A and B are shown apart, each in its own frame.
Chain A
């Protein structure tokens, strides 16, 4: 068993009638980065503030490393409970709007939490170097760009060498291109510092990209926590699937190993009890093929494109299975609409059985609305007992 970075046990926090955090328990190993993914208002920021100590839970325990920082019994409440104030928790916090001290320059902001004049100077220099702002020490916060402010906030949180860093939607104030860059930077800095961290976001791509672990939250509960790939590929519930990305839900009937549905007979990733099931199909695990191409020759150029597309999809999802060309064979569908997004397009496909699928295809494939296509589904598929 590796060392514990953060441990939460049955945390509860209510605001009036709302359960902001509802019996949340999880362990995070030291040095790992946890992405908390969930829609806004799902309680992820509250969870972060509970860990930081800005709010107190109604009940539950939180331990940082081996030290219990909050221990409140559900029955006795605050009495007899143990609460370490935020300033003694050794937790760094990066705020959504950074909360840099406007009356202090960059150096003084970063050095705010470091004790001792000599140590402070040395540490500030290190941190400025780490976040790539060695010449900005004398600047005032308002003179910096959003990305620079973000890095100063991170440096300030890391400077006292905390056991844990908590980041509350740290990229939400940056524009899209800046975001990707700063995200990489953050990833590097956190890895170099070797700090345990929790990071809150409502952006799926961000969550899977930054976290070594991902937790999906909804209505105050952690629905699923695991490695990013596991969470995305085996979401275990419809809600998790929907929060972690776009998903098609297709009804079918399971015989244990396979499912019969409007898309033919498909192999299940995990055995499912016989009976009604719901299939979770990601838009990129489905591919479309022009019917005219099929007729003119199996190896037409368009088809080649499609295979490339398909193999890209497979490699993206790293060996989750092969494409269903055998078995019941492809099903026909009709294109209802096409949305072009630049690096991909979304097609809405009507199946004969009445289901409608959302499909993500490459930008070069050209379909017309009303056109008939062949629909292939990547196997095996995820099924949920219904």
Chain B
């Protein structure tokens, strides 16, 4: 059963390979065109810029919000994570709405004779937006590493005659390096796979070019070839990520829970640090949200007011609910196998589902278009295929949630129930199920929330005429109808914030679980 699920998640990718290789020699010559390499170069440059910028913002922010006495530390440490909750295409839309030729800033500056604002687009626009919503990956990783570090390390170093600067260079930085690497690779991965921002900023990265190729030309093989190139880069990055993750555990020597470190007094750097936090939060959180609220108010003031067609909401909820339920049902056997039975086949199944999650959404969408049109003719351009796509894309989240709760149900509990007179099924129903219901609910909620804001899959695989909150934001933003996009965008931000809170919560619980198991 788990194998079936794994096969289902990998099939589209395999089919994409087949399809691309079917492009023939002409297709392969395509790789030699300068345009292709231009796109390749664009994507790499974008990823390099966003990653570097995220590290430069994220590392100091992580340190300030976890180890210093900056005013309002708790608030900033929340604010440093929350940008993750803004879907990238919504942030891009907000920045466009702020700086577009007839946008918000232009209107505000009109009385001063500035009629045209420099338009935010291209590499700079894409890099700015992606950095502003992805730097929290660096913050999260580095902060976790800082918390794991034993404060007596610092005391030991200082006791051995290290100056604060030498401590930073010789102790802190080497200890943080793995977490910085892990965080930046995540940023790079998301940059490569992000479709919304480059598309709205009209920057020719792989994702945008793949989409336009798919939309405009009849020969979809070239889109498939590009998608494969993108997959190749993604796999390289992924490989790097797993490599660093393997090394990323510097163990504290000695047991016991770590002593909380006393915050470092910043002295006269206190207010500059405060300013830095405020600037980052202002750009990454306040600006996009205020812009969208502004446009929503504008829309409300207009004749006719804001219209949010109820059908959009119904459609979004319907697909997301189906995907959530389907995701949990498909995840149950995989999670169960992965937790209860260790073995090579099981690990493979587990990895397969994760690989498909790491693939850019646009690639999965494209693969499913090919696969669906060829093999699932009946379902092509129906809700079934769309929901299937959501399920295989977000399956790992459901598996993660289920796994967390399954780990808390050791097989001995079922054995205990058996020895107390319950049959196999009765034991499962009376012991295991009540214990994993929260995990199932969490998994379903997660898939629901991520599905509802997913852009590329919805865009490409929705049946004709089927509109959701996402497609509404997308088409309105692409056409510059900022007011029209604002209300669904706000709804999506709220939904997305919930999903981020859920994911962070689940990660914490997983850590706690593992901690207990190690102690027991």
A residues with CB within 8 A of B: 52-54, 85-89, 91-93, 95, 97, 99, 101-103, 112-113, 115, 156-157, 160
Say which residue of A54, A85, A103, A112 sits within 8 Å of B420 (CB atoms). A112
Say which residue of B415, B423, B431, B434 sits within 8 Å of A93 (CB atoms). B415
> Are the C-beta atoms of B418 and A101 separated by less than 8 Å?
no
> Are the C-beta atoms of B419 and A87 separated by less than 8 Å?
yes
Given contacts A95-B412, A101-B413, contact A87 B435 (CB under 8 A): no
Is B116 an interface residue when CB atoms closer than 8 A count as contact?
Answer: no
> Are the C-beta atoms of A160 and B421 separated by less than 8 Å?
yes
> Are the C-beta atoms of A99 and B415 separated by less than 8 Å?
yes
Is B520 an interface residue when CB atoms closer than 8 A count as contact?
Answer: yes
Say which residue of A89, A92, A102 sits within 8 Å of B435 (CB atoms). A102
The CA of A102 and the CA of B407, in the complex, are separated in Å by 13
> Are the C-beta atoms of B520 and A86 separated by less than 8 Å?
no
Is B416 an interface residue when CB atoms closer than 8 A count as contact?
Answer: yes
Say which residue of B410, B422, B434 sits within 8 Å of A103 (CB atoms). B434
B residues with CB within 8 A of A: 408, 410, 412-413, 415-424, 426-427, 430-431, 434-435, 520
Say which residue of A87, A92, A97 sits within 8 Å of B427 (CB atoms). A87
Closest to B435 in A: A103
The CA of A54 and the CA of B430, in the complex, are separated in Å by 18
Q: List, sorted by A's number, 16 A–B pairs whose CB atoms are closer than 8 Å.
A: A52-B419, A53-B418, A86-B418, A86-B419, A87-B427, A89-B419, A93-B415, A93-B419, A95-B416, A97-B410, A99-B413, A101-B413, A103-B434, A112-B417, A156-B416, A160-B420
> Are the C-beta atoms of A99 and B423 separated by less than 8 Å?
no
The CA of A113 and the CA of B417, in the complex, are separated in Å by 8
> Are the C-beta atoms of A85 and B423 separated by less than 8 Å?
yes
The CA of A57 and the CA of B417, in the complex, are separated in Å by 21
Given contacts A97-B520, A101-B413, A103-B434, contact A92 B419 (CB under 8 A): yes
> Are the C-beta atoms of B423 and A87 separated by less than 8 Å?
yes
> Are the C-beta atoms of A87 and B413 separated by less than 8 Å?
no
CB distance from A94 to the nearest CB of B (A): 9
Closest to B412 in A: A99
The CA of A91 and the CA of B421, in the complex, are separated in Å by 9
> Are the C-beta atoms of B419 and A157 separated by less than 8 Å?
yes
Which chain B residues lie closer than 8 Å to A160 at the CB level? Answer: 420-421
Say which residue of A52, A87, A91 sits within 8 Å of B422 (CB atoms). A87
Which chain B residues lie closer than 8 Å to A52 at the CB level? Answer: 415, 419
The CA of A302 and the CA of B416, in the complex, are separated in Å by 57
Closest to B434 in A: A103
Closest to A49 in B: B415
Which chain B residues lie closer than 8 Å to A95 at the CB level? Answer: 412, 415-416
- Main SS of the interface on chain B? helix
Task: List 6 additional A-B contacts (Cβ < 8 Å) besides A87-B422, A112-B417, A112-B430.
Answer: A53-B419, A86-B419, A97-B520, A113-B422, A156-B416, A160-B420
Which chain B residues lie closer than 8 Å to A156 at the CB level? Answer: 416, 420
> Are the C-beta atoms of B408 and A102 separated by less than 8 Å?
yes
Which chain A residues lie closer than 8 Å to B415 at the CB level? Answer: 52, 54, 86, 93, 95, 99
Residue from A52, A87, A89 having most chain B Cβ neighbours under 10 A: A87
Closest to B437 in A: A103
CB distance from B206 to the nearest CB of A (A): 48
A-B contact count (CB 8 A): 62
Which chain B residues lie closer than 8 Å to A157 at the CB level? Answer: 419-420
> Are the C-beta atoms of B412 and A101 separated by less than 8 Å?
no
CB distance from A345 to the nearest CB of B (A): 31
Which chain A residues lie closer than 8 Å to B434 at the CB level? Answer: 103
CB distance from A276 to the nearest CB of B (A): 49
> Are the C-beta atoms of A85 and B413 separated by less than 8 Å?
no
> Are the C-beta atoms of A87 and B520 separated by less than 8 Å?
no
CB distance from A252 to the nearest CB of B (A): 48
Closest to A93 in B: B419
The CA of A160 and the CA of B424, in the complex, are separated in Å by 18
The CA of A49 and the CA of B415, in the complex, are separated in Å by 10
Which chain B residues lie closer than 8 Å to A93 at the CB level? Answer: 415-416, 419
Which chain B residues lie closer than 8 Å to A97 at the CB level? Answer: 410, 412, 520
Which chain B residues lie closer than 8 Å to A99 at the CB level? Answer: 410, 412-413, 415-416
Residue from A53, A99, A156 having most chain B Cβ neighbours under 10 A: A99
CB distance from A167 to the nearest CB of B (A): 12
Closest to B427 in A: A87
The CA of A91 and the CA of B430, in the complex, are separated in Å by 19
Say which residue of B416, B419, B423 sits within 8 Å of A101 (CB atoms). B416
CB distance from B315 to the nearest CB of A (A): 37
Say which residue of A53, A54, A101, A115 sits within 8 Å of B431 (CB atoms). A101
CB distance from A166 to the nearest CB of B (A): 8
CB distance from A96 to the nearest CB of B (A): 8
CB distance from B344 to the nearest CB of A (A): 15
CB distance from A174 to the nearest CB of B (A): 13
The CA of A382 and the CA of B422, in the complex, are separated in Å by 50
CB distance from B391 to the nearest CB of A (A): 29
CB distance from B409 to the nearest CB of A (A): 8
The CA of A92 and the CA of B412, in the complex, are separated in Å by 13
Which chain A residues lie closer than 8 Å to B430 at the CB level? Answer: 112
Which chain B residues lie closer than 8 Å to A101 at the CB level? Answer: 413, 416-417, 431
> Are the C-beta atoms of A91 and B412 separated by less than 8 Å?
no
The CA of A97 and the CA of B416, in the complex, are separated in Å by 11
Given contacts A95-B412, A99-B412, contact A85 B435 (CB under 8 A): no
The CA of A372 and the CA of B27, in the complex, are separated in Å by 95
CB distance from A279 to the nearest CB of B (A): 44
Which chain B residues lie closer than 8 Å to A85 at the CB level? Answer: 418, 423-424
CB distance from B436 to the nearest CB of A (A): 10
- Ordered nearest first, which 3 A-B pairs have the shortest CB separation? A113-B420, A99-B412, A86-B418
The CA of A115 and the CA of B422, in the complex, are separated in Å by 11
The CA of A277 and the CA of B91, in the complex, are separated in Å by 88
Which chain A residues lie closer than 8 Å to B413 at the CB level? Answer: 99, 101
Which chain A residues lie closer than 8 Å to B520 at the CB level? Answer: 97
Which chain B residues lie closer than 8 Å to A87 at the CB level? Answer: 418-423, 426-427
CB distance from B359 to the nearest CB of A (A): 37
Which chain A residues lie closer than 8 Å to B431 at the CB level? Answer: 101
Which chain B residues lie closer than 8 Å to A88 at the CB level? Answer: 421
The CA of A93 and the CA of B418, in the complex, are separated in Å by 10
> Are the C-beta atoms of A54 and B418 separated by less than 8 Å?
yes
CB distance from A193 to the nearest CB of B (A): 16
The CA of A53 and the CA of B430, in the complex, are separated in Å by 19
The CA of A156 and the CA of B435, in the complex, are separated in Å by 19
CB distance from B442 to the nearest CB of A (A): 16
Say which residue of B417, B419, B423 sits within 8 Å of A91 (CB atoms). B419
Residue from A54, A91, A92 having most chain B Cβ neighbours under 10 A: A54
The CA of A102 and the CA of B153, in the complex, are separated in Å by 38
CB distance from A254 to the nearest CB of B (A): 50
